[in-house]
Structure 1
């Protein structure tokens, strides 16, 4: 390439570069900034538009700071100025009070029992604020009123909940029902429940359970049972726990007949109630309390048919009931059944069974069993020996009684008040007055005061005429020792 051609190429190239640069320069943002109306929002002019997200964050931050300032002021202000402090704290941060702030103020006033100031705060919350008040504030307030026995205030605030732009639910109703039931204001419950319907609150299963528990607690079992049936008719499922509660309450009824008890149980079964082991134990206990040992045995047999394995407690109760009715053969079968099924007898079971052997006057078998239970890890205690001594006294086996007393001493089992009472009564029954006096004197030397029944049972047998009689000596010791003759026997 010659020199002239090279110059011509360079000039063309330079011209092209110039056009490209001019085009690039004209298309750059700087060339449009002067005529662009959006340049007012550039960082250069400090006029960026405020994001809605940032505005909400700033408002939340201000509310948190206002609440923090309010909490700090509580320690320095008296509770009578909390409302003004609440308003000032949020005004200072240019934001509106929050439900959380009102909740804090209300709890603080309740804690300090400032009920007059609390009324002002609630009035301000109702008439000035516009936010929807959370229901939890009223639930806590109803509970607080209940703790301070302000029952009418709790009822009033419950019915005023809609005035605070809040839709009450069954939770606030249940809270009020708990307060009324715990404080013994059940007579107000029907009116409360009826008025709650006008507030669009539908009573739920939890509400029924609260009322059933309260009725059982005051032994109004008939009303509790009626409410249970009404709950089922209202479309709710049968609550097994409420059935168990009603059943246990029935077992505590002293004037309830066996037929009435059975009627309640059968009706609950008709609604689908399946009694568990604990329920059937309560049934057995009720039957035994009414002297129905064989009926209790039938319940035990039905438990096994239903696939419920009776525990040692059930067996022991039924064993005691069968022995009380004199069905000793059944008692032996029941005891053997326990061993076959792997139900390990405890000391209470052995006490009952040994007592049954002595009631049959099977002294040797009873003493053999007493020796055997130590081999299986059960150590006889004073209750065991007292049961044996009572059976021996009733059967007049004084020789065997003395052997058991010596056995007690050799095993290190100390006589208690019941032991002496049993032995003294047995000695009097057999005419062993002097021996009874010796036991009475030994009893007092150990610091055990005889019951009035023991003293008055022994007093007619005293020979107080002889100057050196043993009876006169015991009588003087009783008189000088200031024995509580008025105590129950």
Structure 2
């Protein structure tokens, strides 16, 4: 493997192919499944030689080495990640020829590929294949399909899949809820996104920083600026810092509703967490507090200190 690694570093992929053919003809050493997986990785990730990666997989029996399902799945995932969707099914169908027993990971990769190219009906067909292959779909299976539906704006279909997921005893995780909340927000259904967050908490599913940020954007989109302020306090209490854009939106919202004290809070929090307000924010703030000379003077001092 050392020789092959050196050839890879030198970008001499033709040299690797020549060496592999020589090894096959001489039959003087027995190569492991891990060895072939590394060669396939070199072809796929370093050399961009996807065809060589596939050929190496199917050539393994000629070296008296049969691929493990891990190596087989590596090739499937390589094809999906490089968007070679046209050959994924062909490789998948070659599993029996290679003596590979398909597992849940294999089917998940196929579903990922189908969702990636918008073939959602075909993805459902693969979902129905799980019991036939003596496998059970897992949270990754459903999250991939739910993401596929949300990406295409098919939110109701995504929630139907969530119901099926729960019926089949698969508990949705934080990633699933994040995908759904983002999907709802993109379709303007922000109140439903906020309600879903409450449902998530009731189920005992711990939110992550991405969850909090999406729910905050839902509150801001709904123009619930005071609620957004309270939510931002909860976020910071948990060590999650709202984004610069969040502070910008909430400050603009407070300005539009003439909530001067809240404007002051938002600006101070923004600076406290390391964000520097840009000129547009300062102009908006000064417009809001222009009639209050005391507060306006306070912001003038702030501006001078920061800049």
**What TM-score, normalized by structure 1, do the two folds share?**
0.48
Instruction: Return closer, same or farther for 1:321/1:388 CA change in 2, 3 Å cut-off.
Output: farther
Q: Does 1:269 align with 2:166?
A: yes
Q: Which position in structure 2 is the counterpart of 1:144?
A: 42
Q: Does 1:160 align with 2:55?
A: no
Instruction: Return closer, same or farther for 1:208/1:332 CA change in 2, 3 Å cut-off.
Output: same
Q: Which position in structure 2 is the counterpart of 1:306?
A: 203
Distance of 1:324 and 1:308 partners within structure 2: 24
Instruction: Return closer, same or farther for 1:300/1:289 CA change in 2, 3 Å cut-off.
Output: same
Match of 1:230, SS? coil
Instruction: Return closer, same or farther for 1:243/1:373 CA change in 2, 3 Å cut-off.
Output: same
Instruction: Return closer, same or farther for 1:256/1:376 CA change in 2, 3 Å cut-off.
Output: closer
- TM-superposed deviation, 1:184: 3.2
Q: Which position in structure 2 is the counterpart of 1:486?
A: none
Q: Does 1:411 align with 2:302?
A: yes
Distance of 1:168 and 1:274 partners within structure 2: 33
Match of 2:183, SS? helix
Distance of 1:315 and 1:117 partners within structure 2: 49
- TM-superposed deviation, 1:197: 0.7
Q: Which position in structure 1 is the counterpart of 2:24?
A: 126
Q: Is the 8 A contact 2:67 2:100 kept in 1?
A: yes
1:247-266 to 2 correspondences below 5 Å: 247-251=146-150, 253=151, 255-266=152-163
Which structure: larger Rg?
A: 1
Distance of 2:33 and 2:207 partners within structure 1: 48
Q: Which position in structure 1 is the counterpart of 2:90?
A: 191
Distance of 1:337 and 1:123 partners within structure 2: 63
Instruction: Return closer, same or farther for 1:200/1:415 CA change in 2, 3 Å cut-off.
Output: same
Instruction: Return closer, same or farther for 1:171/1:286 CA change in 2, 3 Å cut-off.
Output: closer
Distance of 2:102 and 2:156 partners within structure 1: 34
Q: Which position in structure 2 is the counterpart of 1:86?
A: none
Distance of 2:97 and 2:53 partners within structure 1: 18
Q: Is the 8 A contact 2:213 2:242 kept in 1?
A: no
Q: Which position in structure 2 is the counterpart of 1:50?
A: none
Match of 2:33 among 116, 135, 139: 135
Q: Is the 8 A contact 1:293 1:324 kept in 2?
A: yes
Q: Which residues of structure 1 form unaligned runs of 5+?
A: 1-102, 417-489
Q: Which position in structure 1 is the counterpart of 2:218?
A: 321
User: Number of aligned pairs?
Assistant: 299
Q: Which position in structure 2 is the counterpart of 1:389?
A: 284
Q: Is the 8 A contact 2:79 2:88 kept in 1?
A: yes
- TM-superposed deviation, 1:411: 0.6
Distance of 1:243 and 1:340 partners within structure 2: 30
Q: Which residues of structure 2 form unaligned runs of 5+?
A: none
Q: Is the 8 A contact 1:354 1:370 kept in 2?
A: yes
- TM-superposed deviation, 1:122: 4.2
1:57-96 to 2 correspondences below 5 Å: none
1:50-61 to 2 correspondences below 5 Å: none
Q: Is the 8 A contact 2:147 2:179 kept in 1?
A: yes
Deviations 1:349-396 (A, max 9, x none): 76655544444x3x2xx2122345678896485269729828x97xxx
